[in-house]
Structure 1
Amino acid sequence: MESKIADNLESQIVDLYKDKEELETQLGTSDTDMIITEFYQLESELNRLYQFKEKYKRIEVKQIIIESVQSAYIQNHRLSI
């Protein structure tokens, strides 16, 4: 019985180290605080980009004259399109 428990614990530890190694490989860290901080930073950046997308509309340059720019962002409420 104790051997079974020890084997189970060893298996769990091996799995935890595999997970830790995968995090290190994929994210460059296995530190939970760093991963959580990065997650919230990415969430904040994504929210900022969504807000930008709601406020502005991408239009082709041929509709307005701007030199050396392929496209421009104009606030939606300024467009009559």
Structure 2
Amino acid sequence: MLVARPDGTDRTRWTSINACLPPAVAFDGQEVVTSEGLGTAPGPRGPGQLHPVQQEMAAPVRLSLGVRGARVP
């Protein structure tokens, strides 16, 4: 989940947060974007297409069992 927080200038600072940790009331007055909300914004992807972040989250998990320190490509 992304949280928009003012940084003291005209700009907004986006911070990624693990949604399981803080209570919802902690984000009172802040803009929150979840992975579900990424695909709803108008843009070049068109309707029905997933945002790249959503595509990565929906991709099958690749596990490397029995190999320590293996990186998942």
Q: Do they fold alike, i.e. is TM over 0.5?
A: no
TM-score of the pair, normalised by structure 1: 0.22
Higher RCO structure, 1 or 2 (CA under 8 Å, sep 6+): 2
Q: Which has the higher strand share?
A: 2
- The structure with the larger Rg is 1
Q: Which has the higher helix share?
A: 1
